[in-house]
Amino acid sequence: MPAALQVPPSPPAISTPAAAAATPTFDEAYARARALANGGHPDEALAAYEALLARAPDNVDVLLGRGIVHARLEHWPEAERDLRAAATAAPKYADAWSALGDMYLWSGRPAQAADAYARLIALRPSDPAPYLARGRALRALGRDADARADLGRARALGATGEAADALAAALQPRAGNPDAAIAHGYTWAAGLSATWTDPGRGPRWNDETVSVRHYTNGGSLAFETLRAQRFGRHDVAWGLDGYVGLWSGAYANLRYQRAAAARLFPANAGRVELYQALGSGWEASVSDDVLGFAARVNIYGASIAKYAGDWYVQLRHQNIVSAESHGTGERLLARWFYAGDADTYLEATLNSGRSDDPLSLVGGQGRSGGGTVTWVRYWTPAWGTRVGASVARTGGAADQRALTFALYRRW
């Protein structure tokens, strides 16, 4: 029969000392577990770490490895259990404190992360990386001044590259547009502002604005109501004002405003402004404001700005164009974040302008100028105020003076 010609199967293998030696050592098994974890096989890595802990239940390296895998999988309770066990068993093990801090930061617990990074700094005081890590945690807590101090220490120790640049970028004051991004931990803000203007001749003007703004990861949107009383007339308007993120380093401001009666405000008004970061703290923008008065007015603008430490300086040029006239203006703005955060600052502006109007009584040309001083301060994390004063002069007219007060609330 054909079956009788088949080669008989090999006999079962007999265990020998050489075969037993093929069982991986603890170090070999640990190296394999790490390779699985770093190679994108977390489930197999966890199984390998479990087997290792069965052989050595208190091994700090294995606890650390398993904790890191749990953190990558966002298994926060399990990760905290393993990493705290490793740090407690070996309080001078810097890698354990580093991983514990990362886990707390990833899971939205920046206060605990900052504490873990502080232990890491005590173990590695000459390493810039722990200062950058704690700086990120402090920034998430809104403690920008302390985060800036850690960034300074890291750079003094030689920190360069993407990590340092990313922290520096995150600590840039929201100088040009405080409404573009709110402080960490808040998603809503409301404001009530009032301005009293003495035009030099005639009765005083009053303007009030109430706004409510909602913030998301992609930008913000506000609903505003505006009221004005001037020249013995009264008017109201409402507006939508939004900021939206675009490509890297770019965002836009879009606004629409409507006044049904159009006694003082334009019947319709719109605004588009595009901002682009240029690197090294520079930012540029271009804009177009459209005012729907009886004769349409366009205000074209361009600006260049620079962030430098706690300072923000912007130079802005505008062209004001209508069917019957043309004007230009320049404004220099300087803002000092003297408290080291993005909420409290002093601001001053100087501006000048020129208009060409064929109906003018002063040869078809008029010049204007003025300035403002503003103080914004948050007295608590949720409550802030703004106080401002301005003076302006147009041609040979009397000086126009104004006072502004605003109250802010965020939650």
What pLDDT, on a 0 to 100 scale, did the predictor assign at position 278?
Answer: 84
Q: What is the tally of structural domains in the chain?
A: 2
Q: How confident is the model at residue 217 (pLDDT cuts 50, 70, 90)?
A: confident
What pLDDT, on a 0 to 100 scale, did the predictor assign at position 350?
Answer: 95
Residue 193 belongs to a domain with what CATH number? Answer: 2.40.160.40
pLDDT, mean of residues 172-180: 62
Shared domain check, 351 and 210: yes
In a domain, 10, yes or no: no
Q: How confident is the model at residue 16 (pLDDT cuts 50, 70, 90)?
A: very low
Residue with tokens 């402004």: 273
CB proximity list for 273: less than 8 A, separation 6 or greater: 252, 253, 285, 286, 287, 288, 301
pLDDT, mean of residues 374-389: 93
Q: Say if residue 30 is exposed, middle or buried (CB neighbours under 10 Å; 0-12, 13-18, 19+).
A: buried
Residue 94 belongs to a domain with what CATH number? Answer: 1.25.40.10
Shared domain check, 201 and 71: no
Q: Domain of 46?
A: 17-170
Q: What is the pLDDT of residues 247-260, one digit of tens each?
A: 877 889 999 999 99
In a domain, 322, yes or no: yes
Shared domain check, 392 and 257: yes
Last residue in a domain, options 113, 138, 170: 170
In a domain, 139, yes or no: yes
Least confident of 63-67, 71-75, 296-300, 364-368: 364-368
**What is the residue-averaged pLDDT of the chain?**
85
Shared domain check, 109 and 55: yes
CB proximity list for 123: less than 8 A, separation 6 or greater: 92, 94, 97
Q: What is the pLDDT of residues 319-367, one digit of tens each?
A: 998 887 888 999 999 999 887 667 889 999 999 988 665 444 344 456 7
Shared domain check, 227 and 372: yes
Least confident of 53-62, 142-151, 235-244: 142-151
In a domain, 6, yes or no: no
In a domain, 179, yes or no: no
Q: How confident is the model at residue 56 (pLDDT cuts 50, 70, 90)?
A: confident
Residue 331 tokens read as 């404004």
What pLDDT, on a 0 to 100 scale, did the predictor assign at position 342?
Answer: 73
Shared domain check, 35 and 151: yes
Shared domain check, 201 and 160: no
Secondary structure letter of residue 345 according to DSSP: E
Q: How confident is the model at residue 5 (pLDDT cuts 50, 70, 90)?
A: very low
